[in-house]
């Protein structure tokens, strides 16, 4: 399976990339990680271990043998590593500004995405890596048969494509998974009042037409963005306002209670982004470990 948790995602410890590292290793242990994805690369995976002063082999063995859920893994990290807050803040800030400049890496990501090097000059590592993941997921999972049972949509609300809009990639993923009968039962696609619906409205799109396009065509994410550009209104100011509301949103009391109950935790967090991520990762852990 293609790992859709991006390097920008953080858990309660606020360490970017740590959730992706955790998820890749759970998939690897289960024999489900796509063969083109290393479970512990010499790049960000190794760097995040160094940042937290974690022993590589000890950490890998813990993940493979204990198969912890994400919150259990963070508790283990706190016990066995070191959290230097200024270093972590620098690390998190650096990930958003990374670029791909090595020709071989450009060739790889552009090739997987389908970009023409004579026409595209994008170098943002975050964007290119996300688009690469989504393109490969579309190929192997949405139009292929790499997924055999319903899964949670581990693509986070914070992730953005070329239009720069949060939630839109997640809306694409959920709707396409539902069309294939592969979306986890706990997740609606475009429920009334949802972020999916608000995002569609922000882009001045007709909801039923949008959902029908996704369900009937199962487009790649970039094909969907092209369609959005033709059918809707891409207002940068409106998108920025939507993103700000999404990133700062706190869940209402009943949603806080529901997600904390799912996680088996006392009410601790209020951030909508964090809680939705933790809920995704909880269900993903269940799906891959059978627990």
Dihedral angle of Cα 180, 182, 186, 191, to the nearest 10 degrees:
-20
pTM: 0.96
pLDDT at 291: 83
Rama region for 67: left / alpha / beta (φ>0; ψ in -120 to 50; rest): left
The 10s digit of each residue's pLDDT in 156-193 is 999 999 999 999 999 999 999 999 999 999 999 899 99
Q: What is the pLDDT along the chain (291 residues), one digit of tens a residue?
A: 999 999 999 999 999 999 999 999 999 999 999 999 999 999 999 999 999 999 999 999 999 999 999 999 999 999 999 999 999 999 999 999 999 999 999 999 999 999 999 999 999 999 999 999 999 999 999 999 899 899 999 999 999 999 999 999 999 999 999 999 999 999 998 999 999 999 999 999 999 999 999 999 999 999 999 999 999 999 999 999 999 999 999 999 999 999 999 999 999 999 999 999 999 999 999 999 988
pLDDT at 148: 86
Q: Rounded to whole angstroms, how far apart are CA atoms 187 and 264?
A: 19
Instruction: Let me know: does 268 contact 260? Beta carbons within 8 Å.
Output: yes
Name the residue among 154, 155, 171 with its Cα closest to residue 242: 171
Q: Rounded to whole angstroms, how far apart are CA atoms 129 and 5?
A: 11
Helices (H), the chain: 18-29, 44-51, 56-66, 70-80, 85-97, 103-113, 125-137, 168-179, 195-202, 207-217, 221-231, 236-248, 253-263, 272-289
Residue with the two structure tokens 């088996």:
264
């Amino acid at each position: 399976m293609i790992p859709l948790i991006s390097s920008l995602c953080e858990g309660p410890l606020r360490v970017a990339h740590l959730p992706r590292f955790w998820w890749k290793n759970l998939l690897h242990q289960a024999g489900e990680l796509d063969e083109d994805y290393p479970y512990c690369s010499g790049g960000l995976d190794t760097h995040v271990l160094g940042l937290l002063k974690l022993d590589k082999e000890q950490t890998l063995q813990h993940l493979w043998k204990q198969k912890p859920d994400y919150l259990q893994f963070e508790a283990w990290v706190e016990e066995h590593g070191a959290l230097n807050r200024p270093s972590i803040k620098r690390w998190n800030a650096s990930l958003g500004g990374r670029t791909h400049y090595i020709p071989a890496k450009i060739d790889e990501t552009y090739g997987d995405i389908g970009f023409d090097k004579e026409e595209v000059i994008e170098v943002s590592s975050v964007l290119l890596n996300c688009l690469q993941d989504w393109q490969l997921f579309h190929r192997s999972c949405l139009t292929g048969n790499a997924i055999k049972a319903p899964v949670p949509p581990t693509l986070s609300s914070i992730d953005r494509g070329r239009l720069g809009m949060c939630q839109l990639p997640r809306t694409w993923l959920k709707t396409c998974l539902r069309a294939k009968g592969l979306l986890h039962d706990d997740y609606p696609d475009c429920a009334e009042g949802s972020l999916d619906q608000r995002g569609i409205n922000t882009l001045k799109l007709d909801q039923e037409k949008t959902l029908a396009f996704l369900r009937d065509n199962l487009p790649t994410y970039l094909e969907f963005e092209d369609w959005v550009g033709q059918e809707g209104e891409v207002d940068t100011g409106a998108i920025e306002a939507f993103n700000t509301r999404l990133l700062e949103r706190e869940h209402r009391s009943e949603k806080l209670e529901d997600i904390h109950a799912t996680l088996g935790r006392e009410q601790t967090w209020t951030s909508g982004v964090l809680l939705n991520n933790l809920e995704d990762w909880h269900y993903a852990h269940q799906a891959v470990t059978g627990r």
